[in-house]
Structure 1
Amino acid sequence: MTTKQLWQRVEAMLHPAVLLLSLLLVCTSSWVLIGRQLTSRASFWDLLHVYGGLLTGILALMFAVKVCIGGQWRQFFPWLTLDVKPLFTDIRGLLRGQLPHYGGKGLISVIEGLGVILLLLVAVTGAAWYIADPSNALTWRNYHIIFAHSFIGFIVVHCLLALLHLRDFFS
C-alpha cells in the first residue's frame, strides 16, 4: 500500500472518527474531575478524557489538513480571501425564507469551516491546559471549557444542517 492510498483510507475515516470521539468526550466530560493537573489518583474518566482528547486533537489536525488540501480551504474559509458574496447571498435568502444549499462558498460551508476552527481551539486549549504551569492551568481550563461549549453548539447546528441537507436529495 502506498502512502497516498493509506492517506486516502485515513481521510475517509477522519470525519466519523472525530465525530465519535468528540461525542464520547462531550458525553463523559461531566465525570472529569481535573483542576490544575492530572494527578496520580486520576480516575478512568480523567485519563480517558485527557488521552482521548489528545487522540481527537491529532485527528482534528489531520482533518484540518484534509479540508485545506488542494485549495478546498477556499470553500470553508472564503472570508480569508474576502470572497463573501455567496455568504451574503445565503443570508439574504434566509431573510426571505429560502434555505441555503450545500456546496460552494455559502453559509453552510462557512459554518463548517468555523466548526473546524472550534475543534482545533478545543484541542489547543486542552493541550495548553495539560502542559501549563499549575499557576496558569485554570485559565487554560476555562478557555478549554468555553471553546468546548462553543463546539457543542456547533455540533447541534451541524446536525441540523445535515438534516437540511437531506432535503436536497428529495427536491
Structure 2
Amino acid sequence: MPDTPEMLLHPIGMLHTPWTAIADCPRNGRQLDPAPTCIARLLPELVEGLASLDGFSHLMLLYWVGPQPRPRLLFTPPFDSRPRGVFATRAPFRPNPIGLSVVAFDGFATPDTLKLRYLDCVDGTPLLDIKPYLPTTDSEPGAAMGWLAPHATRTRDTEP
C-alpha cells in the first residue's frame, strides 16, 4: 500500500450473531427465514449516543471484518464464473476489512443493547459505527447492479 498516514479506529461495541466463521454467515443476512435476532452491545461510555434511536426501523452498521488474510484484489466469486475485482464485490478480504450491513432494528434489549435482524458477520465482530438508515437519501431505486444483477438475492418488492 502507498505511504499514507496511519488511521486509528476504536470499536464502539461488539456484534453478537449465531455464526462462528465467515463461511457460516448468510451472504447478505436476508437468506434465512425467519432471520435470527442478533445484537449489538455498545461500550458503557457510549450508551448516551443511542438516544433518539427508537423509531428507526433500519440502521446501517459499519464493522471490522478482519483480521483477514492478505487482500485478494481479483477473485472468482462462488456464484459466478468470471474473476471480479474486490471493489466490485462485497467480499470480506479487502485492503481495509470494513463491513457494512443495513439491518432491521427491532428495539432495545437493554439500554446498551440493540436487537437486530439481517446481520451477516461472525459473533464477536467489533462494531465501528451505527447510522440511521434513511430511505429518502440511502435508497436509489433506479441504481444499476452491474455484473451482480443476475445474482440478486431479493427485489424491492420482496423486502418490507
TM-score interval (norm. to shorter): under 0.3
* Structure ranking higher in strand proportion: 2
Q: Which has the higher helix share?
A: 1
Greater RCO (Cα-Cα under 8 Å, separation 6 or more): 2
TM-score w.r.t. length of structure 2: 0.27
Q: Name which one, 1 or 2, has greater alpha-carbon Rg.
A: 1
